[in-house]
Structure 1
């Protein structure tokens, strides 16, 4: 069964190309050309995925992404002509699930779409024993939830993927490349700096003192580990 995809891009020609490729793969696609309409349609349609251009009139894509993430966990794939690392990481920091820099090929875009939808729909075998408790942190791969001292916290998909991977093997040191594979798959345009951003955000959510982490530990020169704690 195809997904419902909202395409928000102020370039009508590019948006139409994306729409046609989505339909050819069996998805439903709705196209809008500005940020405010994108938010309105996202709230009305509740799509499975939003393909979101950064540079749009009214509200830009970053503002739209920030609002969407506050309201839902819809998949967000950002399109951006900004190629600096900080610009790209900002989108991820706001909760985007993936990004693609312009110019891009429609085939690469569709590959990203398939990867995101597949990852979102991939079920974990339902079993109460799947719940992992590592120190103060609980990771529920079935319910896709994270708790700290019993209180649930909100995590992006990338953040959850990092914790879920680490929770499977507490105290194992993961390289950034290994965590990048867990969060985004093999992605030519991503950098391992992406993982650092996710870890910083996670520490704000799960650590008593993010500046002195007790569980989400940096192993200098290697990567990160989730310490079992006490």
Structure 2
């Protein structure tokens, strides 16, 4: 079955060009031109990835992203015509997995799509590694679910990948550069704050007090690590 991708953008020519180019690579492409249409399609159709423009008529891309994140971990690549760093980080704050600033190279977009889908499809693990239990929360590696005291924790795909990597290597310190390379799979042009944003969001979701982290710890001047059991 072809990989199904939703493209959401109000620029008809851009959507037409992306749809044609990605279909040539064998992807099954669906399109939406405003936020309401995007939410309706995301709710009624299972997509492997969503390419979402920041500036949309009606409901903007950030709100669409936030609403999708309420019940789905589908990977989201945010497109933005704005170059300010704050807008890129804000897109990640609302649950986007990645972003590209317009104008962008279609080959770069395709490379990022492949990297995200490759990680999403790499779910097979050894039987004994299906469950990671840490105190009162459980990481289900096959189902890609996290629960705390039996309550589901809604993580984005990137947040889950980060947590799984760190929890699978307790005590090992990863630099932000290493985390970018391992989790994102390509050069991020020095924007190391991407890692910081995701770590902070993870702490807010799994720590009792995100300001006094018990699990995801900081090695000052080096990087991040998961506490040893």
TM-score (norm 1): 0.92
What secondary structure does 1:71 align onto?
Answer: coil
3-state DSSP class of the match of 1:63?
helix
Distance of aligned partners of 1:227 and 1:150 in 2 relative to their CA distance in 1, 3 Å threshold: farther
The answer (yes or no) to whether the contact 1:21–1:110 under 8 Å persists in 2 is no
**SS at 1:217 equivalent:** strand
The number of aligned residues is 229
Q: CA RMSD in A?
A: 1.8
Deviations 1:52-99, CA, capped at 9 Å, x for gaps: 111111111111111111131222111111222221111111111111
Q: SS where residue 139 of structure 1 aligns?
A: strand
The answer to whether the Cα contact below 8 Å between 2:70 and 2:154 also exists between their aligned partners in 1 is no
> Does the CA-based 8 Å contact 1:217-1:225 persist in structure 2?
yes
Name the CA shift for 1:129/1:41 in 2 (closer, same or farther; >3 Å): closer
CA contact (8 A) 2:4 2:49 kept: yes
2:84 equivalent in structure 1? 84
- Tell me: CA distance 1:64–1:125, structure 2 relative to 1, closer, same or farther (3 Å): same
Q: What are the residue-to-residue correspondences of 1:6-155 with 2, within 5 Å?
A: 6-155=6-155
Q: 3-state SS of the aligned residue for 2:43? A: helix
Give the drift of 1:221: 0.5
Contact 1:161 1:182 survives alignment (8 Å): no
Residues 118 and 205 of structure 1: is their aligned pair in 2 closer, same or farther, counting only changes over 3 Å? same
SS of the equivalent of 1:52 reads: strand
Give per-residue Cα distances to partners, 1:92-139, cap 9 Å, x unaligned.
111111111110111211111112222111222251443223444432
Matches of 1:17 and 1:126, distance apart in 2: 41
| CA distance in structure 1 between the partners assigned to 2:81 and 2:53 by the alignment | 9
Q: Which moved more, 1:18-27 or 1:205-214?
A: 205-214
TM-score by length of 2: 0.92
Structure 1 residue 149 displacement after superposition: 4.5
Contact 2:73 2:155 in 1 (8 A): no
Q: Pick which of 76-85 and 143-152 moved more.
A: 143-152
Shift in Å at residue 153 of structure 1? 1.5
Provide the rounded CA distance (Å) in 1 between the counterparts of 2:39 and 2:189: 27
Q: Which segment is superposed worse, 37-46 or 213-222?
A: 37-46
Decide whether aligned partners of structure 1 residues 173 and 32 sit closer, same or farther in structure 2, where only a CA change above 3 A counts. Answer: same
Q: Which runs of 5+ in 2 are unaligned?
A: none
Is 2:129–2:141's contact at 8 Å kept on the other side of the alignment? no
Flag the 1:190–1:79 CA change in 2: closer, same or farther, 3 A: farther
